[in-house]
Amino acid sequence: MQLSDLKNHWNEVLDLLLEQDRIAWLAFFDARLVSYENNCLTLDFADSLKFSGPHDFKAARNPDHTAKLIAAIKQVFGEEPAIIEQ
């Protein structure tokens, strides 16, 4: 799996996540895929900072949400990456 593969099929991953848990989907739908190296997927949420007030939702993303994202990625790609948030 490469970053380009993830980007090309990211909507499939998000669709699976939405079917399973809408809150988890909300936590990750605006993530930007930054890199994929050594089985680590780095996500950036910088766009969430463009609003006038604080909109950093990192605290709202709990380990269960991340586990569900990883499960959706595994369902699409057959791999379970670690998730790194910027």
> What is the rounded (10 degree) CA torsion for 48, 13, 63, 39?
-100
Paired strand residues for 42 = 35, 84
Write out pLDDT tens, residues 46-64: 765 565 554 556 666 688 9
| Architecture of the structural domain at 3-85 | 2-Layer Sandwich (3.30)
Domains of the chain by residue range: 3-85
C-alpha span between 51 and 72 (Å, rounded): 29
Integer-rounded Cα radius of gyration of the chain: 12
Q: Is the pLDDT of residue 16 over 90?
A: yes
pLDDT digits (tens, 9 = 90+) for 21-51: 999 998 899 889 999 999 999 998 776 556 5
Q: What are phi and psi of 37, to 5 degrees?
A: -140, 140
pLDDT value at residue 56: 59
